Amino acid sequence: MNIVILSRNANLYSTKRLVDEAQKRNHDIEVIDPLKCDLIIEREKPTIYYKDRYLDYVDAIIPRIGASVTFFGCAVVRQFEMMNIFTTVTSDAILRSRDKLRSFQRLSKEGIGMPKTVFTNYSRDVVEVLEHVGGPPVVIKLLEGTQGLGVVLAESKNAAESVLEAFNGLQARALVQEYIREAKGSDLRALIVDGQVVGAMKRQGREGEFRSNLHRGGSSVYVKLNEAELKLAIKAARALRLPVCGVDMLQSRRGPLLMEVNSTPGLEGIEGTTGKNIARAIITFIERNRK
């Protein structure tokens, strides 16, 4: 099988692991920078030209599209879809997951538990916004933020007002969320492949840091999810139509609460923590669907 990984950096851990596992199973696999693809749109025969050749021999693709190149990256994925080539994640699903407001609205409709969240169009009535989520402290998130960037913990009304005013001045849209104090700076990451949880870990932010991202100095341990956590992770992935994704949850007194769904989850942290071969599971997922 000819498999293409859409990635701008062939040296990333996740990309190299997928290449290794595909080669072990005797597949031809290559890494292609989506930004160097030319999309040829014509009647009945959409094609993609990359460097010196047409990509008309590809059987399946694995999108590893960074947030900064979402627009063109998804256009490339969509072009492959028009060529009837299997993709582990569709372009529409990536776009849904990258739009925090849209994904939260969809997940809310599906009855998935989340921290209380308010979105307002540059509102100056900060007190009213804070009341909707139970008052300070609150978490303020940029709609376009990723990997913990653009996420601020405002511990008082004045702090929340200052952050929102700053974001408003930059015309940066933001969500205001209830702060789940009992989570104590930790969260759960469940890795979904083919609609099932194949690995999970608990991430803990370093002392004084409420964000638990591993690249920000957080730590992680293997964890076995309970039934409620498993159901939430699987339901969230299905709601956003993401057969391969990372689902982040908070543990609260009222049960697990969804924090975010990542359509391009990194594999290094989850594989290192759980000892599970996630890359192989993704290649197996492709094989099952191509058959």
Q: Hey, what are 71's tokens? A: 């627009």
Per-residue tokens: 153:
């913990």
Instruction: Read off the pLDDT of residues 49-78 as tens digits, 9 standing for 90 and up.
Output: 999 899 999 999 999 998 889 999 999 999
Would you say residue 94 has pLDDT above 80? yes
Q: Report the pLDDT value the prediction gives residue 126, as an integer from 0 to 100.
A: 74
Q: What is the mean pLDDT of residues 127-149?
A: 77
Cα–Cα dist 210/94, whole Å: 27
Mean pLDDT for the stretch of residues 86-113: 92
Q: Which CATH class is domain 182-290?
A: alpha beta
- Per residue in 152-187, pLDDT (tens digit) is 888 888 888 888 878 877 777 788 888 888 888 889
Reported as type and span, the H/E element at residue 195 is: none
What per-residue confidence (pLDDT) applies to 291? 56
pLDDT reported for residue 120: 74
- Classify domain 2-96 by CATH architecture: 3-Layer(aba) Sandwich (3.40)
Q: Do domains 2-96 and 182-290 have the same CATH topology?
A: no
Instruction: Answer yes or no: are the C-beta atoms of 17 and 279 closer than 8 Å.
Output: yes
Domain boundaries, the chain: 2-96, 117-179, 182-290
pLDDT of residue 175: 85
The structural architecture, per CATH, of the domain 117-179 is 2-Layer Sandwich (3.30)
DSSP secondary structure, 119-177, as one string:
E-SS-S-HHHHHHHTTSSSEEEEETT--TTTTEEEE-SHHHHHHHHHHHHHTT--EEEE
Tokens representing residue 110 in the block: 């599906």
What b/e sequence results for 261-287 when a residue is b if at least 16 CB atoms lie within 10 Å of its CB, and e otherwise? bbbbbbbebbbebbebbbbbbbbbbbe
Say whether 252 sits in a helix, a strand or coil: strand
Six-digit token string for 213:
């991202």
